[in-house]
Amino acid sequence: MSETTPPLRLHDTLTRRVETVEPAAFTDDGRPLLRFYSCGPTVYSYAHIGNFRTFLTADLVVRTAEALGWAVRYVSNVTDVGHLTEDDVADSEGEDKMAKALASKEGERFETVWDLARHYTAALEADWQALNLREPDLRPRATEHVREQIEAAQALVESGHAYETDDGVYFHVPSFPDYGKLSGNTDAETLEGTRDVVRDDDKRDPRDFALWKKDPGHLMQWFSPFTDGPAAGWGFPGWHLECSVMAQKYLGETIDLHGGGEDLRFPHHECEIAQAEALTGEPFSRYWIHTRFLQVEGEKMSKSKGNFLTVRDLTAPPPTGRADWGAPVDPLALRLVLISGHYARPFNLTQKALADAQKNVARYREADDAARDALEAGRGGADVLADDLDAAWAEALAAMADDLNTPVALAAAYRGANAVLAAHRAAPLSAASAASAAAFLDRVNALLGVVRSEYGEPAGGADAGADDDKLRKQVEDLLVERMVAREQKDWASADAVRDELDRLGVKVMDTPAGPEWRRA
For the four alpha carbons of 501, 107, 302 and 50, in that order, the dihedral sign comes to negative
Rounded mean pLDDT, 58-85? 92
Residues in the chain: 520
Q: Is 303 annotated as a binding residue?
A: yes
455, part of any domain: no
Same domain as 203, residue 344: no
Same domain as 139, residue 55: yes
> Where among 448, 475, 507 does a domain terminate?
448
> Where among 243, 270, 291 does a domain terminate?
291
> Where among 424, 448, 472 does a domain terminate?
448
Same domain as 301, residue 285: no
pLDDT of residue 194: 44
Examine the pLDDT at 470 and tell me if it is beyond 70.
Answer: no
Spatial distance between the Cα atoms of 61 and 49, rounded to a whole number of angstroms: 18
Q: Is 500 annotated as a binding residue?
A: no
Examine the pLDDT at 348 and tell me if it is beyond 80.
Answer: yes
Examine the pLDDT at 101 and tell me if it is beyond 50.
Answer: yes
Same domain as 412, residue 477: no
Same domain as 104, residue 122: yes
Domain CATH code at residue 228? 3.40.50.620
The region of weakest confidence among 193-207, 231-245, 285-299, 494-508 is 193-207
458, part of any domain: no
377: containing domain: 296-448
| Neighbouring residues of 338: CB distance < 8 A, sequence distance ≥ 6 | 49, 52, 53, 56, 131, 294, 347, 349
Same domain as 282, residue 251: yes
Same domain as 281, residue 134: yes
454, part of any domain: no
Examine the pLDDT at 468 and tell me if it is beyond 60.
Answer: no
Report residue 1's pLDDT band, with 50, 70 and 90 as the boundaries: very low
What CA dihedral angle connects 416, 422, 426 and 430, to 10 degrees? 30
Between 410 and 221, name the one with better pLDDT: 410
Provide the edge-to-edge strand list for the sheet that holds 168-171.
162-164, 168-171, 209-214, 234-237, 222-223
428 DSSP assignment: P
The region of weakest confidence among 46-55, 220-229, 237-246, 275-284 is 220-229
Between 178 and 510, name the one with better pLDDT: 178
Express each pLDDT in 259-296 by its tens digit.
999 999 999 999 999 999 999 999 999 999 999 999 99
111, part of any domain: yes
What residues form DSSP beta bridges with 310? 48
Same domain as 237, residue 120: yes
pLDDT of residue 89: 62
- Rounded to 5 degrees, φ, ψ at 382 are -75, 165
Q: Is 240 annotated as a binding residue?
A: no
- Rounded to 5 degrees, φ, ψ at 329 are -90, 145
Express each pLDDT in 79-93 by its tens digit.
988 766 666 666 666
| Neighbouring residues of 501: CB distance < 8 A, sequence distance ≥ 6 | 475, 478, 482, 508, 517
Report residue 477's pLDDT band, with 50, 70 and 90 as the boundaries: confident
Between 39 and 499, name the one with better pLDDT: 39
Total-model pTM: 0.85
Examine the pLDDT at 219 and tell me if it is beyond 90.
Answer: no
Report residue 199's pLDDT band, with 50, 70 and 90 as the boundaries: low
Do the Cβ atoms of 231 and 214 come closer than 8 Å? yes
Domain CATH code at residue 404? 1.10.730.10
3, part of any domain: no
Q: Is 39 annotated as a binding residue?
A: yes
Same domain as 304, residue 277: no
The domain tally of the chain equals: 3
176, part of any domain: yes
Between 336 and 193, name the one with better pLDDT: 336
Report residue 64's pLDDT band, with 50, 70 and 90 as the boundaries: very high
202, part of any domain: yes
Average pLDDT, the chain: 89
Same domain as 370, residue 471: no
Instruction: Give CA separation, 362 vs 92, 186, 503, in Å.
Output: 46, 50, 29
Same domain as 220, residue 352: no
pLDDT of residue 195: 39
Rounded mean pLDDT, 398-417? 98
Examine the pLDDT at 33 and tell me if it is beyond 90.
Answer: yes
CA angle 90, 92, 98 (to 5 degrees): 130
The region of weakest confidence among 302-306, 385-389, 419-423 is 302-306
Spatial distance between the Cα atoms of 9 and 283, rounded to a whole number of angstroms: 20
- Tell me the three-class secondary structure of 113-163, residue by residue: HHHHHHHHHHHHHHHHHHCCCCCCCECCEHHHCHHHHHHHHHHHHHCCCEE
Spatial distance between the Cα atoms of 117 and 80, rounded to a whole number of angstroms: 6
Same domain as 229, residue 359: no
Residue 226 zone, left/alpha/beta (φ > 0; ψ -120 to 50; rest): beta
260, part of any domain: yes
Q: Is 268 annotated as a binding residue?
A: yes
Report residue 501's pLDDT band, with 50, 70 and 90 as the boundaries: confident
